[in-house]
Structures are given as structure tokens and as C-alpha cells.
Structure 1
Amino acid sequence: MMFARLLHPARAVSRAAVRTFERAGAPSLTAVAVAAGVLALAGCASPMSRFYTLNASDAPASTRPAGSSSMLIEVPPVDVPPQVAKYQLVVQSGPTQVQVLEQERWASLPGDEIRRALSSNLTSQLGAIDVYGTPYPDGAPVYRVSVNVQRFESWPGSHALIDAVWSVRAVRTQAVLTCRSVVSEPVAGGYDALADGHRRAVQEISTEIATAVQALASAPQTRAATPAKGASMATGAGAGAIKVPCPAPMSPAAPAA
């Protein structure tokens, strides 16, 4: 019997003690046990996720009055590498190793985050309107910005890198400019700094794209134009074709991992 009591200590509490405990206004032993179980489950719950966004531009707002924009742009969906096309942050832990962080997440998929940040930056810098997916007047000059991100690397405490090939095309003509931007932003420790590094990288790429849009918009446009082979852009065939070079990069290429 003594051995049984050691296995079940609750049986050592007399019924009279339980009644006294309840008459004193204290919760029942059952309620205490339930509360203890709830607290134990809460202690085992997963930590809350944190969400990050790239669309927090600090670019200066356009001074052009609302409704007076003469430039239209289109920013279609952005392609990103499959290994980072997920809500979780994917960080580099070595040259050939990555970690997928379940609690550190993007507010939307990286391709959507980059597209929205590009659209916000470009409309602000150019005083333009992004008409992607929206009807616009026939004959209006429209510049389509296509971006293909080939590398989107996150190195905590080191740098955030974006390597993107992009093009600007004057819709309804063959005038097109195709360039590449490799931007590496140094970052401090922590995932907030890492997300901010990517935001600054997108902003630098946006500035390069805005420069290209302005250059293309100022060049003569020809609807039947055919770009010369190997040229960055040509608005007419044969002699006298006007070429627009890619803008100079704003930052040096990223260091080797």
C-alpha cells in the first residue's frame, strides 16, 4: 500500500481537505490541473513569425501635379530563382549551403515584393503611372520594364545581393534596351538589416532603370524600327541609327562568396 501511495500521491489528499479547499473559494483541483495543462501547451507553442517587405521606399516623391503625368510604364511580374521563390527567408550559411527560416518571412513572395518596390520607385522617380493590367489610350507612349532576377542572395551580417537582367521596351516599336545590374549592399547583423539591404539594392536598380527609361524616351522613335545585331538599342536600321548605352552601375559588383 505504501508503494501505491508513492505512485499516486494525489490519493494521499483526504476528501475533507479537498472540501475545505473548495469552501475557501479556491479553484478545484481539476481546474488547477486544467490551467497547468494550458500553460504547459502555451510554453510548447511555436514562436510568432516576423514579416518583412521591400516596398518601403524612401525615394523622394515626384513634384509633378496629380493627373499631369505624360509618361506611362508597365512593370509586369518579376522572375526570381526557384530556390528563393517562397515566403520564408532563404539565407546563405556558406558557399553551397542555405537555411530556410520558418519564422522570418516576406509579406508576399519575393517576386511580388520586388515588382511592387520597382513600381513604387519608378513612378516616384519618373513622375509616371504604372498601367500594367490597366487599359490606356491607344498611341500613348508606354515603356515596359521587364526584370529577371538571376541571383537573390542573403548573407546575414555581410551583404544582400541582387543580380538582375532587365530591359526597357518602347511599346509598339522595336526600340529596346537590355542591361544587367549587380548590386551588393553591406548589412549589419539581424534580419531587419538584411531586408533593408535588399530594399536598398532594389532602389539602386530602380534608379538605373529610370535613367534608361528617360534615355529611351528622349531618343527618336520609329514604329518599324529593327535593332541592329549586337547593339544595345537602335531606333532605326542602317546608317544613322541611334543607340542608347546601358546606364553606369551605381555600386561595385558584389564580392565573391
Structure 2
Amino acid sequence: MAFPLKFTLVTALLLLAACRSDPIQFHTLTPAQVGDHSRTTVGVIQIESISVPPQVDRAQIVIRQGNSGLAILETEWWGATLVDELNSALADQLSNYPAQSGYSVRVDVQRFDSVPGQYALMDVKWRLRSAGESEPARVICRSTLQTPSGPSIDELVLAQQNNIKRLAALISQAAARKQAGCLMPVN
């Protein structure tokens, strides 16, 4: 009688072990801050809205595979929705560049590609205007930002953080310039 009980217990343990799933890893587009956190938000460019393509508008990280494939990574998630992650990260980066007067920006992400071992790419249309709702746009620009990436998801996230940092610099430079115009991204 001891043998069937042991066999049943071992079988149950094996079945339970087979049902175990990998833990979910969470990632953020807001880089870790080092140094003084007492930045002022006076004069900072406000974010009106951010939109992203529906293919990547999910909690899980989406990567490109080949020329036409997408993979939804079930164990690699954003810390919040992708729109919220982009909003937080861009607001954080824009706070590094206090504007002379009140501006707001609307961001429409056309492409948000992540290709392990190759690159992270953001193709973004953005509109900068004075903070008053009735003001016309100061500039309407399109920026394509691409950063090389290593094969890991952490490296892809860091590359996208770099793209956001570069986008914030472009928006801030456009706000600071006397003459309205779009600047080309700098690698």
C-alpha cells in the first residue's frame, strides 16, 4: 500500500511542477535618477496627450520578429500601460529642460519598434504650442529616433529610454529657439 501512495504523491508533485509559469518581469521607460531630485516644474513643457500604435498598446512588451512578425512577450511587461510609461518618461526628461515660457506638446507615436540584438526605434509626430488652448502650433515635427540595442529586453528598454531622452531634447530645443522649426535628431 505504501507504493501506490508514494506513486500518487510523486505524480501530483510532477503535475504541479509542470503547471508552474515563469515570473513576470516589469520594465519602465523612466530611467533611474542619480543625484538631486529637487527639480522645479515651473516653466516645464506640459504634455497634452500621447498616442501609440494599437499593435504595441498593451501591458506586455511587443517585439518585432523578421520582416512581418510580432511577438507579445508574456513574461516581460511594462510597469504601466505603454502610453502611461511614455508619458511619465517624457515628462521626467522634459523636466531636465525648463522652458522659458509655457508650452505644451502633443505626441503621436507612429512606430514603436523593438528588435532584440538590433535596435529600438520611435517614429514620432509631435506638435509644440504655447500653453494657451487657442494658440496655433509653434511647430509640427516628425522625428525618427533609432538606438542600437543588445539582445536582452533590458537592453531594448534602455535603448527606448535613450530615444525618449533624445525626443525630449528636440522638443525642448524647439521651445527655446527664437525661430520656429524642427531640428534633426542627433545620435
Largest Rg, 1 or 2: 1
Structure 2 letter corresponding to 1:94:
G
Structure 2, unaligned runs of 5 or more: none
TM-score normalised by L of structure 1: 0.64
Give TM-score scaled by structure 2 length: 0.85
User: Take 2:99 and 2:174, find their aligned partners in 1: how far apart are those partners?
Assistant: 15
Matched, 1:152 2:148: no
Is the aligned partner of 1:208 residue 2:144? no
Q: Alignment RMSD, CA only?
A: 2.7
Bigger strand share: 2
Go from structure 1 to structure 2 and tell me whether the alpha carbon gap of 1:60 and 1:127 turns closer, same or farther (over 3 Å shift). farther
Relative distance call for 1:188 and 1:83 in structure 2 (3 A) is same
2:127–2:137 CA contact under 8 A, matched in 1: no
Q: Deviation of residue 60 (structure 1)?
A: 7.5
Q: 2:122 corresponds to which letter in structure 1?
A: I
Q: Which has the higher contact order (CA 8 A, sep 6+)?
A: 2
Distance 1:61 1:181, change over 3 A: farther
| 2:24 alignment partner AA | S
Is 2:128–2:139's contact at 8 Å kept on the other side of the alignment? yes
Aligned-partner SS, 2:95: helix
Provide Cα deviations, 1:53-88, integer angstroms capped at 9, x if missing partner: 1011558858xx766x65143213310000010111
What amino acid sits opposite 2:56 in the alignment?
V
Q: Distance in 2 between matches of 1:105 and 1:59?
A: 24
Partner of 1:249: 185
Query: Could you give the per-residue CA deviations for residues 78-99 of structure 1, whole angstroms, max 9, x where no partner exists?
Result: 1000001011111111111111
Letter aligned with residue 123 of structure 1: S
Matched, 1:164 2:136: no
Alpha-carbon separation, structure 1, partners of 2:14 and 2:54: 40
Which amino acid is 1:37 matched to?
A
Tell me which of 137, 147, 157 is aligned to 1:185.
147
AA of the residue aligned to 1:204: R
Aligned positions, number: 185
